[in-house]
Every structure is written in structure tokens, then in C-alpha cells.
Chain A
Amino acid sequence: MKEYRQYELEDLVLDKEFRTWVFSPEAVPNSPWTKLGESDPAKGKLIKKAARLVRALEPIEEQVPEQSLSDLWKRISKSRQQKASRAIHWAFKYAAVFILAFSLGIGGVYLLKRPQFTDTYTEITVPYGERSQVTLYDGTKVWMNSGTKLKFPIVFNQNQRKVFVEGEAFFDVAKNKKNPFIVHANQMEIKVLGTRFNVCAYPDEDQLYATLEEGKIEAKTAFAKNSIQLKPGEQLALNLQTKTITLDRVETELYTSWKENLLRFQEAPFSEVITKMERWYDVDIEIGQGVDVNRKYNMSIKTESLREMLRLISLTTPIAYEINEGKVLIHRP
């Protein structure tokens, strides 16, 4: 942990995490400053002054009407159209509507009827540290975990609904018996008619998972001729290294709780916990010498801060940690 005891007022004010704490203490639970302020009155006074200065320097931002921004975007598309072909312009315009709706946080993206967009694929990427939900043209809901890319047609065609996923996504597929829904993830293709399931296929991992919560899915993989049928509560794991497939019964909730902002681990090795935390909190975590990465963890954590999560781990494990500008170093105490 940083040596906040030696901090001067200037250092505090210039500390990004301190400024975050000043404006939203709930975002930095168990902050070192709360404790320091309580235990050392002189430091407490210094912290108060620094906090006051941080608040005083908070600018009042003018409001920009949403209308101005969308009008301006239309104007940019129009100026551009003078050079671009008509087809490109339309795609452009559509993307605008779609993305503005998305960025306004309307809770999901509702795509409008535009027949000319059949088979025109579009892509959403959810940054690390964030999660998102979209509603596709057919009403299928997709929850996307941190660092996930989803490619889907703006309008599905009549014969099949096919999407591509990289990362982790939970699908609640709208029922349509005539038109199967297909999820393509790396070396695996999952065919469904209407059901709820989770797909985990991060490009930096050797394992792909499909976990079925409800209904029926059919998984076709690059390593087997026949497709495999999954029943509710079953999980298909695909190892890209050994090219093996395993089918297991699992507690599906463990694999789908992320969409309720809940991080759950059951008998998970430390290395897995670390990878998930890196995506979840958008940080780089470095493991120092001598830390047991195979130690197993059981825990369930809801929307805790990174600091809180590390503290919980350090309570049960002999580790020490430092957080510095989006980087975490975990080492032996």
C-alpha cells in the first residue's frame, strides 16, 4: 500500500484515487484516508483540507443539449455524404442512431426495422471494467461481460439468426422455431431455438465454455463430427490446447451471476481469480515471486471495489498488495 502517512497536502490533491474518494466515498470503501483521519488528528486535518481543495476546484460544467449533439452528428454525416457513396452514408446514419441510443444508456439497444440492413453486420465492444446489455432485432437479449465483442446483423434474415461473440455473453434468445439462433464463438457453434445460456470465449484463454441454464442447445465444435446436445445445468468445456471436449453438470449460477454484477468463485485457482479481476476492474495485476497461484478460492462478491476485493483476499491468504495508477502488485507479505 502507498505510504499515505508521508503525504503532504499537495500529494493528496494530486492523487487520483484520493480525488475519487472525495467525491464518492462509496467508490473507495475502506479507503486509507478514513482510517488515517480517525487515528491521527493532524493527518485528519490535512485530509480535510485537501478534500476541501479538491471540491473547490471542481468545475461547474455547462449543459450541452442532447439535440445539439445529434444535430451536429447529422451535419457531419451530411457534409461527408457529399464525398461518400449513398450506401455508406446510410450505414453511417444508422450507426449514429444506434450508437447515440447506446451511449445515452437507454438500458438496451432497440434496433429499428430497416430491411436494407439484412446481413449487414455491426459490432459492439464492451470495454474492460464495464458490462453492457443489448436487445437484438428479434428481441433476443444479450448481456455482455467486460472486454467482450459481439458482432450481429442489424436485421436478421428469414432463415437464420447468427451472431459472433468473443469474450463472455449471456443469451436470452427469443423463441422462433422456424429460425434457429446461432452463436459462433471461436471453434464452437451453438444452435438454439429459444433458451437461456452463457458463452465464455475470451481470446486470451485456452478454454471455451457453454453453460445452459434453461431449454436446449446444440453445440458443434471443431474437434468432433457430431454436435453435442446440452441439457439444463450442463456445461460444455472445450480445451483448445488439448483439443478435448468435456461435458459436466455444474451449478449454472456460478457462471451467469456476473450479469447481476456478482463475481463468484468456487474452488477457483488464484490465477483465475486474477484474470477475472483484471477484466472486471480494468487493471493490470502483477503477481510477485512466491505467491501460490494454485491456491483455491471460494467467494461471492457483489459490486465491491477493487480495494475491497483485495482486502478480502488478503484476509484469507498470506498476500500483500499495492495499488498504483491502475496497476496492482500482489506479493508475499
Chain B
Amino acid sequence: MAKKKQTDVKRWASFKSGDDLALAVIYSEHAEILYKYGLKFTANQKLIEDTIHDLFIDLIRSRKTLGETDNILYYLLKSFRRKLIRQVHGESRYGEDLAQEVEFGVHYSIEQEIISEEHRSHVSRELQQAIEQLSPRQKEAIYLKFTKGLDYQEISEILGMGVEASRNLIYRAIKSLKEILTDDPNLLLIFLLKRKISSSLKKVQLF
């Protein structure tokens, strides 16, 4: 959104000009997001913490010469991802698995739905399998778009691909999942229920 962008532009500029409060705000607003993003690539928390540490130290040391941005989240996600993947590769150089591929992996709420007995439908299971079969890049692109609100241009920069290609990546993923959703009798019931259930009961996973 335009105003959010304006805030980001100003905050980034204050940080660059030496404002430590701006830096503290940037950290407090983004550290957890970066951490969670890191956990999608590795379970090694020490490595994630080291990477966030290095990222912020680098930002502080080069604050005067940093470029401008109107989306701090995107800027940080991009630099963090690059550093993290380099770190994971560096780590595996000394480990047993030399050619370890760094891949984005994520658990989806549909898995919980499958576990809870009452919604163990045929369609749910097929849908879950289809989601699992999405490529790591598709999963990551969807995560960046849906959960982090990035646009295709930003996603393409992070994943190192063209804008059109990143759009197609997501579009094709959804198209493939669409095929699975046949007319499941549970769906109608679920929709009717949903309209009656208030947000306080949201923890009951209906879909």
C-alpha cells in the first residue's frame, strides 16, 4: 500500500542517516519474520541466528551506502535468503553431505485437518498430497505472495527468475490443485457451518 511504502521509505532513510531508533524498529518488526522464513530452509537455529546477526551488522556497517527501498520486508528477506543459503552451503562443505540442496519446506494447516478424525475425507487427503508435491520453488513463491504479501516483481528477484515466470509458477500451482477439488459433499456443510461460527471459534479447523 502506498502509505506503508511511504513509511518504509522514510524509516529506511532515517536508519541510513544514523537514527538508531529506526534501526531498532526495523529489527523488532522483522526479526521474527526472518527467523520463521529461515526455519523453512533449515532447522539449525544457531545458523539462522548467525545469519540474522550478520545481516544486521552488515546493514549497520554499510548504512550510509545502502540503496533505497520502499519495502523493507522485501529488502531484508532477499538479503537474508542469500546469506542463509550461502551459510548452509558453507556448513555442509565440512559435513558429510557435500552436495546438499537448500530447499524451502513448509507444513500446511491441511495436515492438521487430516489428523483430526472428523474431516478425514478422500478429497482432503488427495489435496494434501498434491500440495506436498508442489515444487519447493512453487511453495516458496506462494509463501512469499500469500503470507508475506510480496508482488511478482519482488518474488522474481528473490527467486532469481523472470517476473512472468514467477507469475506462471504460482498460477500453475493453483491450477494443479484446482483439479483435485471435485464436488466434495463435505464442502457444502462446511460452508454453511462457517457462516454461523464466530471468529472466536476459529481454532476449529473447518476447511
- Which A residues form the contact surface with B (CB < 8 A)? 9-10, 13-14, 16, 19, 22, 24-26, 34, 37, 44-45, 48-49, 51-62, 64, 68-69, 72-73, 75-76, 79-80, 83, 88, 91-92, 95-96, 98-100, 102-103, 122-123, 125, 127-129, 147, 278-279, 282-284, 325-327
Q: A95-B20, A99-B24 are contacts. A48–B191 as well, Cβ < 8 Å?
A: yes
- Contact residues in A for B88 (Cβ distance below 8 Å): none
Interface majority SS on B: helix, strand, loop or mixed?
Answer: helix
Q: Could you tell me which residues of chain B, from 31 to 57, have a CB within 8 Å of some CB in chain A?
A: 31-32, 35-36, 39, 45, 49, 52-53, 56-57
State how many angstroms separate the Cβ of A182 from the closest Cβ of chain B: 22
- Contact residues in B for A9 (Cβ distance below 8 Å): 174, 178, 181
Interface majority SS on A: helix, strand, loop or mixed?
Answer: helix
Evaluate contact between B110 and A72: CB separation under 8 angstroms: no
Residue-by-residue, is B177-207 near A (CB-CB < 8 Å gives 1, otherwise 0)?
A: 1100101000110110011000100000111
Jot down 9 A-B pairs with beta carbons below 8 A, ordered by A.
A10-B175, A10-B178, A25-B194, A45-B187, A51-B207, A64-B35, A76-B57, A125-B7, A279-B3
Number of residue pairs across A and B with beta carbons under 8 Å? 169
Leading 8 A-B pairs by shortest Cβ distance: A128-B3, A55-B207, A326-B1, A56-B110, A103-B28, A99-B24, A95-B24, A60-B107
State how many angstroms separate the Cβ of B1 from the closest Cβ of chain A: 4
Evaluate contact between A10 and B174: CB separation under 8 angstroms: yes
B21 beta carbon closer than 8 Å to chain A:
yes
B27 beta carbon closer than 8 Å to chain A:
yes
Evaluate contact between B174 and A53: CB separation under 8 angstroms: yes
Evaluate contact between B53 and A57: CB separation under 8 angstroms: no
Additional A-B contact list (11), CB under 8 Å, known A64-B39, A72-B52: A14-B170, A49-B187, A55-B207, A57-B146, A58-B108, A60-B107, A68-B49, A76-B60, A95-B20, A99-B27, A129-B3
Q: How far is the CA of A244 from the CA of B22 in the complex (A)?
A: 37
B116 beta carbon closer than 8 Å to chain A:
no
B13 beta carbon closer than 8 Å to chain A:
no
Q: How large is the interface on B (under 10, 10 to 19, 20 to 34, 35 or more residues)?
A: 35 or more
- Contact residues in B for A54 (Cβ distance below 8 Å): 146
B155 beta carbon closer than 8 Å to chain A:
no
Q: A57-B131, A79-B53 are contacts. A128–B4 as well, Cβ < 8 Å?
A: yes
- Contact residues in B for A52 (Cβ distance below 8 Å): 127, 181, 187, 190, 207
Q: A76-B53, A127-B3 are contacts. A56–B108 as well, Cβ < 8 Å?
A: yes
Q: How far is the CA of A83 from the CA of B61 in the complex (A)?
A: 9
Q: How far is the CA of A38 from the CA of B190 in the complex (A)?
A: 15
Evaluate contact between A73 and B7: CB separation under 8 angstroms: no
- Contact residues in A for B25 (Cβ distance below 8 Å): 99, 103
